[in-house]
Structure 1
Amino acid sequence: MTRGLVHIYTGDGKGKTTAALGLAFRAIGYGMRVKVIQFLKGGYSGEFKTVSLLKPWIEIEIINHFKKRIFKLTEDEWKKLAQLTEEAVASLLISLKKGEYDIYILDEIFGALKRDLITVEKIREIIKNKAEKVELVLTGRGAPYELKQMADYVTVMQKEAHPFDKQIGARRGIEY
């Protein structure tokens, strides 16, 4: 690629992370290097196991700075998560400028924005400061209009039905 573009996967429907990881696996098939940074996704997920199984053969890294599920955090744990998010973004900015990976996926970055763990200004800085050839993918509900205006691709996942509406909880391997 001579020019990397910006993707946003947003909306209230399922499939934002799945679409981003699908893009990652397609790119890996062509020898591209991928880094995934997960915001607000504490605890274990199937993505980690898949990557650990494939790691000897593919160039992908998944980073999750907070190992605890975020649904029941104490005030001190939220403060720690805010600190870890700030550190992750500082490291990300350095890596993006260098273009250490071909594709960066910032999974649930808009959720982090909603919870005041990152600002719109910081996300704008991330978009503006990526290396020219870097492809950047941002996911999460509620992408702000001004960030959508900066993107080359904007996909809005729209929910028409979801098992949560029937009080069916998240299922391993499907929702996480």
Structure 2
Amino acid sequence: MDKKKVQVYFGKGKGKTTAAVGQCIRAASQGKSVIMIQFLKGKDTDEFSFLLKLEPSIKLFRFEKAHEYYRDLNEEERNEERKNILNGFNFARKVIETGECDVLVLDEILGLIDLDIITVDDIIKLINLKEDYYKLLLTGQNLPEQLVPYMDRISEIVPIKE
């Protein structure tokens, strides 16, 4: 089994999820199993619904139930969605612990830190759960400095012109 590799796509520019999907397709074409868990995307599944055609090589999971984005929800709806998001985070932990896939993508997980749903320490614990999985790929707008030492590859997506 390959050694653990932790990669991140972060920044204010668009394309982080698309870059992660590219990594998923590359891994699947090499015969590796891939799980992508998306956070903070709302229930809008149109953008990446084509990934469903790639099952079982690439499995896509979303735990949120609301159709709106998390930031657009009222306090009561946010509390409910927070539980769903934490279920997704706990599922990610289980995937790593059981070695259920070769590549695990946690799309927009860094945004959970920005929203105080999880902490930097939660991400560090997740990274350190197991040493023998192939790749863990994280995305989000902001990369906390404390996570940098845990990353093997960091790619910043910066808009030059919008």
- With normalisation by structure 1, the TM-score equals 0.84
Q: Is the 8 A contact 1:103 1:135 kept in 2?
A: yes
Give CA-to-partner distance per residue, 1:120-157, whole Å, 9 cap, x none.
11111111113412300000011101112210000011
Deviation at 1:72, TM superposition (A): 2.2
Deviation at 1:47, TM superposition (A): 4.8
1:69: which partner in 2? 68
Letter in 2 for 1:4: K
- Which of these two proteins has the greater Rg computed from alpha carbons? 1
CA 121–52 in structure 1, closer or farther in 2 if over 3 Å, else same: same
Q: Is the 8 A contact 2:32 2:102 kept in 1?
A: yes
Q: Is the 8 A contact 2:62 2:88 kept in 1?
A: no
2:57: which partner in 1? 59
1:155: which partner in 2? 155
Q: Is the 8 A contact 2:36 2:106 kept in 1?
A: yes
Deviation larger for 20-29 or 121-130: 121-130
Q: Is the 8 A contact 1:93 1:130 kept in 2?
A: no
Give CA-to-partner distance per residue, 1:79-138, whole Å, 9 cap, x none.
112111222222221220111000000000111110111111111111111341230000
In structure 1, C-alpha distance between the alignment counterparts of 2:23 and 2:150, rounded to whole Å: 20
In structure 1, C-alpha distance between the alignment counterparts of 2:76 and 2:131, rounded to whole Å: 35
Structure 1 unpaired stretches of 5+: 163-176
1:146: which partner in 2? 146
In structure 2, C-alpha distance between the alignment counterparts of 1:24 and 1:4, rounded to whole Å: 16
In structure 2, C-alpha distance between the alignment counterparts of 1:20 and 1:130, rounded to whole Å: 21
2:118: which partner in 1? 118
Structure 2 unpaired stretches of 5+: none
In structure 2, C-alpha distance between the alignment counterparts of 1:76 and 1:41, rounded to whole Å: 18
Q: What are the residue-to-residue correspondences of 1:74-153 with 2, within 5 Å?
A: 74-153=74-153
Letter in 2 for 1:121: D
Count of residue pairs the alignment pairs up: 160
Secondary structure at 1:42 match in 2: coil
Deviation at 1:48, TM superposition (A): 4.1
Letter in 2 for 1:60: I
Letter in 2 for 1:122: D
Identity of aligned residues (%): 33
- With normalisation by structure 2, the TM-score equals 0.91
In structure 2, C-alpha distance between the alignment counterparts of 1:120 and 1:54, rounded to whole Å: 32
Deviation at 1:160, TM superposition (A): 1.4
2:33: which partner in 1? 33
